[in-house]
Amino acid sequence: MRFSMTFPVLASALLSIATSKEVGYFDSSECVDRSAFESCYEKADQYLASCISNNCVGGSDSCSDACGGSVTCIQNKCPNLGVDCMKACDCAKTVEYIDCIATSCWNQAYSCEYQATINDLVGTCVNMDLDSIPFWPPPDDATTGCSCNMGKILYTQTIDTKNLDNCYDKVTELNRAGDYDRAEAYGRQCLCCGQSSAMSTYWDVCPKTDPSTLGADIAQVLLGHNDWDACGPRLSNSDCVADYGFSNVTNFYSPGKFPVNGTETLSNTGSPITAPISGPTFTWTFKGNLHPITAVPMSNKADATKAQSSGSTSTPTGESGAGLVRPALTLMFTAISGVFVFAAI
């Protein structure tokens, strides 16, 4: 049996921290077409509310209406609703958000805000193909965008999760063959590699950013439950890339051997994007469904001169930044516990 993809409520809870000025994670005044963007998000939010009341068992209109579309509220106040069902609706809503952004806020495609939105997507949509997500993760050589490539962190951690699944299969195989000692050793070493890679990515991808801004503190708490302290010798005895198939994108730091912490908070840097990255029209695919996009022209921007000259856009709060990396990591640790328990049988 493979691990089920269970994500915490956290991902969607973050959506509700928006202030009146913000639309989702965005300051809509920064978008190419503010009014188109706002009405597109509104439509997606309405879709979410009706998706939940039409599809999720036990839903009553009065219950979900009282929550104004907030998934967190609905989860708390409408306990009969299926969490998986709501996640599916939330996933579909975030897919609509991406269409909104690609259409009328494409100048923010590499922003911290967009990457935080993708965090929610990955946090609520099961079995998704990361490579289908437009503009994500931002390329290493992007001259504009978030000061930390959070997408690359999440991407790496998601690959780590898949790799842990492969280890799980291998452990299952060894156990089936009665090779219990090797199964346990293999499971423990692989676990250390996965934990180390998932942690190291904060420091390796964004060395200048304060890792606590990115959720590394929470990750450390999770590590505490997974025998991380025993990983020093195990990591020096393993070649995580060659023996366990982990990506070479990051180092595999041992407990207590991490580089010095960065100090920066998250911000958008560089000149704003002035032409749609994928051209005026393009199509992206989500689970086999085509999403044709027609980017609104730059001339729609009410304040076009500001768009050309203003170097920085709004900065998401530390909390929204932290939100980006938490869900995938939690998923990974769900998987890790599975490997661990299995290996210890």
Dist CA 316 CA 322 (whole Å)? 10
Dist CA 132 CA 285 (whole Å)? 6
SS3 293: strand
Per-residue interface string for the shown chain with ligand NAG, residues 252-291, x marking contact by CB under 6 A: ---------x------------------------------
> Which of 55, 72, 172, 212 touches ligand NAG by CB under 6 A?
212
Q: What are the phi and psi torsion angles at 206 (to 5°)?
A: -130, 65
Q: Helices then strands (H, E): number in the chain? A: 12, 6
Dist CA 75 CA 62 (whole Å)? 14
By CB under 6 A, tell whether 321 contacts ligand NAG.
no
Dist CA 208 CA 261 (whole Å)? 7
Choices 29-37, 91-99, 134-142, 208-216 (CB under 6 A): range interacting with ligand NAG: 208-216
Return the residues of window 217-236 that contact ligand NAG according to CB under 6 A: 217, 220
Dist CA 79 CA 205 (whole Å)? 40
The residue among 19, 80, 89 whose CA lies nearest residue 54 is 89
- Total of chain residues touching ligand NAG, rule CB under 6 A: 7
Choices 76-84, 209-217, 223-231, 283-291 (CB under 6 A): range interacting with ligand NAG: 209-217
Q: How far is the CB of 161 from ligand NAG (least distance, A)?
A: 19
> Which of 15, 122, 191, 216 touches ligand NAG by CB under 6 A?
216
By beta-carbon proximity to ligand NAG, the closer residue of 121 and 219 is 219
Q: How far is the CB of 332 from ligand NAG (least distance, A)?
A: 17
By beta-carbon proximity to ligand NAG, the closer residue of 82 and 207 is 207
By beta-carbon proximity to ligand NAG, the closer residue of 50 and 248 is 248
By beta-carbon proximity to ligand NAG, the closer residue of 138 and 211 is 211
By beta-carbon proximity to ligand NAG, the closer residue of 222 and 296 is 222
By beta-carbon proximity to ligand NAG, the closer residue of 248 and 294 is 248
Dist CA 150 CA 114 (whole Å)? 10
Q: Which residue has the tokens 């951690």?
A: 157
Task: For Cα atoms 314, 20, 317, give the angle at the middle one, nearest 5 degrees.
Answer: 40
Instruction: Identify the helix (H) or strand (E) that includes residue 282.
Output: strand 281-286
Binding site for ligand NAG (CB under 6 A): 211-212, 216-217, 220, 248, 261
